[in-house]
Amino acid sequence: MSLGRERQRFADVAALAIWVVYASTYAITFALAGSPIPVAIRGALANAAPDGILALAALRSSRRIDRGDPAAPRLLQRYLVRGVVLVLLTAPVKSVLVWIDTVIVASTQYQFSPGIIAWHFFLSALIYVTVSAISHAWLIAQRLREEEAHAVRADALRARAEIAALRAQLNPHFLFNTLHSVLGLIRRDPAKAEAALEKLGDLMRYATRVHRHGVDWIALRHERDFVETYLDLEAIRLGDRLRVVRRVDEAALDQLVPTFSLQPLVENAVRHGVAPRAEGGEISIAARLESDGQRIRLEVCNDGIGRAPETDEGGLGLRVLRERLDALYHGAASMSAGATPAGGYAVVLVLPVRAGE
């Protein structure tokens, strides 16, 4: 059963329960006034049955209007006319039913009172207006709730598709850069090239698993190991020109971070802060939990320039990473980059801790 049908059935059951309470109120009132129980029950049905039919008509008309019938303007006019007609008919019907119960069934005298008939008119109109208003308000609230749920679901699907596209964009970019580094070693040093290919195999296994299984989150410990393999590969190419300082807190290693969140920062530092310089350079990798325990801070610095233009391959990795962070954290993560006081360059990520993971 669909959600809409379940809610409609719930509304029908609630309306029936309200009508039973309404009819019971009539019966109790008549019984307290001295009528025998059978007479009180018949009198309650004679008064409550027309009002129940009136309320049912109001409920069904409200649903037809809420469904967005193409003839909604004409339907609304018919709805109003039908309401007036039903109200005008309900009061006389009540009086006739009461007369039948009193005169024909109970064989007693009954006198029509203008005051009672006027009261029936007023009560019927009140019931019709009240049921219509409550029904419209309830249907509008349900529709808004469904639209909100659909919007949330659409946003989640859109974000998931965006993240998948960004992840697919990052994997070929990373592999292309790594293969380019290995190809440069083949002619100069075949032995180093062979060692580099072994390291490359480790990197490709990680990247393939991320891509194939759609992994968006991984423990920082595994991301750190992946970066260490990448640095080993770059060390084969750069030798002593690449110097690495590591300051990683043990408490931060079990926290979840986006896959490929640390590697683009390190790659940017190596490619633009170390590799272009004849003397090489030093990069620093730091990770720690903030003092509040709710955020993790990742920082990669180098003592060179290290800035990657947004149009080149290094800049692509950072740009894709920034877009993935926005999609995964909905703006709660931050990524900043700039020169350091010592003349180097640093990129800093501040990521919310993934609670309950």
pLDDT tens for each residue of 260-313: 888 889 888 888 888 888 888 999 999 999 988 889 999 999 987 655 544 444
**In the block, which residue shows the tokens 């659909």?**
150
Report the C-alpha gap between 65 and 61 in whole angstroms: 6
**Mean pLDDT (whole number) for 15-41:** 78
Contact 298, 257 (CB under 8 A): yes
**Mean pLDDT (whole number) for 196-219:** 77
Residue 163 pLDDT more than 80?
Answer: no
How would residue 247 be classed by pLDDT, with cut points 50, 70 and 90? very high
- Half-sphere exposure (CA, 13 Å, Cβ side) for 243? 10
Residues 6+ apart with CB under 8 A from 304: 272, 273, 274, 276, 277, 281, 344, 345
What's the pLDDT score for residue 131? 78
Q: Residue 243 forms beta bridges with which residues?
A: 282
**Mean pLDDT (whole number) for 240-249:** 92
Contact 266, 230 (CB under 8 A): yes
**In the block, which residue shows the tokens 């070929």?**
172
Per-position b or e across 60-80, b if 16+ CB within 10 A of its CB: ebbeebbeeeeeeeebeeebe
- State in Å, rounded, how far the first CA of the chain is from the last one: 34
Alpha carbon separation from 310 to 42, 89, 320, 322, 337 (Å, rounded): 84, 76, 10, 12, 13
The two structure tokens encoding residue 58: 């109001």
What's the pLDDT score for residue 305? 67
**Mean pLDDT (whole number) for 185-198:** 78
How would residue 113 be classed by pLDDT, with cut points 50, 70 and 90? low
What's the pLDDT score for residue 108? 62
The two structure tokens encoding residue 254: 């079990």
Minimal CA–CA distance to 255: which of 228, 285, 215, 295? 295
The edge-to-edge listing of strands for the beta sheet with 334-339 is 242-248, 281-289, 295-302, 345-352, 334-339
Alpha carbon separation from 155 to 167, 256, 329 (Å, rounded): 18, 23, 13
Report the C-alpha gap between 263 and 90 in whole angstroms: 77
Residue 166 pLDDT more than 60?
Answer: no
Report the C-alpha gap between 94 and 92 in whole angstroms: 5
Q: Is 91 or 323 the better-scoring residue by pLDDT?
A: 323
What's the pLDDT score for residue 351? 93
Report the C-alpha gap between 352 and 183 in whole angstroms: 39
User: Parallel, antiparallel, or unpaired: how do β-strands 242-248 and 281-289 relate?
Assistant: parallel
% of the chain beyond a pLDDT of 70: 72
- Written as one letter, the residue type at 115 is G
What's the pLDDT score for residue 1? 42
- Written as one letter, the residue type at 234 is E
**Mean pLDDT (whole number) for 2-29:** 72
% of the chain beyond a pLDDT of 90: 12
Alpha carbon separation from 61 to 82, 144, 197, 225 (Å, rounded): 9, 20, 73, 66
Report the C-alpha gap between 346 and 164 in whole angstroms: 28
Contact 254, 221 (CB under 8 A): yes
Residue 159 pLDDT more than 60?
Answer: no
- Written as one letter, the residue type at 75 is L
Neighbours of 147 (CB within 10 A): 10
